[in-house]
Structure 1
Amino acid sequence: MEKNAVLASYHLMWEARNRTYATAKLDPDLEKYAGNKALSNIKLTMLYHQEHGTVMEGEPVNSPEVTAIDTTKATLKDCVDTSKYTEVESKTGKTVSNGDGPRRHVYNASAIKTGGKWIIWTTAIDRGRTC
């Protein structure tokens, strides 16, 4: 049951994250599911998009699993496929170079349980590892 609750919060965080990057504006639901480093990472990326006049089109594909859990903490490992997730200029829709590297990476996260609900607390993409 708790694993399902962690995964649900993780997916909801990604949905709010995707909406944030699609508009370069903070989604109002994001802070319900992301805190600490996870939230600050998303905000920093949003600021990057604002400063560069870009947004993200499409959506990444997630395959998360809970790798450890206790009563108040959980860790997750995800394989994120960004092959259909593209940075574009917000005014023209012109694709910004996505580089030539792999588009599937390991994404590590942690969650904490607070106030009876799970919040994604830290996130880190491992660009050196593909999946």
Structure 2
Amino acid sequence: MAASRRPRRRRVTAMAAVAAATLTAGLVTGCDAVNKALDCVQTADTIADDVTDLQQAVENAADDPSRADASLDSIEKSLRKIGDRTDDTDVNKAVDDLNRAIANVRAAVRDGDHAPDVGPVTDAAGELTKVCTS
């Protein structure tokens, strides 16, 4: 009788191990999604700060035109960070929209516009924040 219990125990032990591994994989995947969402929110917050800096830089462009470029560079760096970490289509669309808005401001500055419209950058950053927090 003891010999017949051993195979059953092994099967039960093996099934428990498989169940534990499956549960752990699910938790890790869930945690990974939470971490990605937190990264998105934190980066969107950083971008919001960068957009505020950009607005101030554009207001003072006559005094220091390089400051606007530095703000744009900082936003683009943060966008690369989000783009590399997500496969969410809404987040990727918001990142693309913000990249386009930045390119337009950068082109305007390059063409000598000392007061480019940063409204589209602000709007796109707001959309990114919205999709990261929803």
Structure 2 length-normalised TM:
0.31
Greater C-alpha radius of gyration: 2
More helix by share: 2
Structure 1 length-normalised TM:
0.32
More strand by share: 1
